[in-house]
Amino acid sequence: MNPVESEAREPGAVRPGRSVHIAGIGSYAPERVLTNQELEKMVDTTDEWIMTRSGIRERRIAAEGQSTSDLGAEAARAALADAGLGPGDVDLIIVATASPDMLFPSTACQLQHKLGARKVAAFDISAACSGFIYALEVGRQFVASGAHDTVLVVGADKLSSITDWTDRATCVLFGDAAGAVVLRHEPGRRGILSTLLGADGSQKEILNVPAGGSAMPATEQTVRDRMHCIRMSGREVFKLAVNAMLGAAREALAKSGLSLDEISCVIPHQANMRIIEAISDRLGIGMERFQVNLQQYGNTSAASIPVALDEAVKRGRIKRGDNVLLVAFGGGLTWGSAVLQW
Ligand code: ACO
The predicted pLDDT at position 6 comes to 39
Q: Please, what CATH class does the domain formed by 1-342 belong to?
A: alpha beta
Angstrom CA distances, 153 to 168, 210, 276, stand at 33, 27, 25
Which of 159, 238, 274, 294 for mutating ligand 1's site (highest number of atoms within 8 Å of CB)? 238
CA gap 150, 136 in Å, rounded? 13
Question: Hey, which residues does 323 pair with through a beta bridge?
Answer: 341
> Which residue from 125, 182, 174 is spatially nearest to 152, judged by alpha carbons?
182
Write down how long the chain is.
Answer: 342
Is residue 78 left, alpha or beta, with left meaning phi > 0 and alpha meaning psi from -120 to 50?
A: alpha
Query: Domain boundaries in the chain?
Result: 1-342
Q: What average pLDDT score do residues 15-26 get?
A: 91
- Under the banding of pLDDT at 50, 70 and 90, the label for residue 17 is confident
Which of 53, 168, 231 for mutating ligand 1's site (highest number of atoms within 8 Å of CB)? 53
* Centroid of chain to Cα 91: 22
pLDDT at position 23 over 90: yes
- Under the banding of pLDDT at 50, 70 and 90, the label for residue 14 is low
> What are the catalytic residues?
129, 269, 299
Pairing mode of beta strands 121-125, 92-96: parallel
Q: Does residue 239 line the site of ligand 1, with CB under 6 A?
A: no
Give distance in angstroms: CA of 216 to centre of ligand 1. 26
The predicted pLDDT at position 15 comes to 59
pLDDT at position 199 over 50: yes
The predicted pLDDT at position 171 comes to 98
Please name the residues in contact with 253: beta carbons below 8 A apart, sequence gap of 6 or more: 194, 259, 260, 263, 325, 337, 339
pLDDT at position 223 over 90: yes
Q: Does residue 53 line the site of ligand 1, with CB under 6 A?
A: yes
With b for 16 or more beta-carbon neighbours within 10 A and e for fewer, the 190-221 pattern comes to ebbbbbbbbbeeebeebbbbbbbeeeeeeeee
Type and span of the H or E element at 318: none
The helix/strand/coil state of 1 is coil
The predicted pLDDT at position 1 comes to 36
Q: What is the pLDDT of residues 88-142, one digit of tens each?
A: 999 999 999 999 999 999 999 999 999 999 999 999 999 999 999 999 999 999 9
Q: What is the pLDDT of residues 251-297, one digit of tens each?
A: 999 999 999 999 999 999 999 999 999 999 999 999 999 999 999 99
* Centroid of chain to Cα 62: 17
Please, what is the end-to-end C-alpha distance for the chain in angstroms? 33
- The mean pLDDT of the chain is 95
Q: Does residue 302 line the site of ligand 1, with CB under 6 A?
A: no
Please name the residues in contact with 100: beta carbons below 8 A apart, sequence gap of 6 or more: 68, 106, 107, 124
The predicted pLDDT at position 10 comes to 61
Ligand 1: atom nearest CA of 45 is 1
Task: Name the residue with the closest Cα to ligand 1, atom 27.
Answer: 235
Give distance in angstroms: CA of 171 to centre of ligand 1. 10
CA gap 329, 240 in Å, rounded? 9
Give distance in angstroms: CA of 235 to centre of ligand 1. 6
Give distance in angstroms: CA of 47 to centre of ligand 1. 14
- Under the banding of pLDDT at 50, 70 and 90, the label for residue 13 is low
Q: Does residue 54 line the site of ligand 1, with CB under 6 A?
A: yes
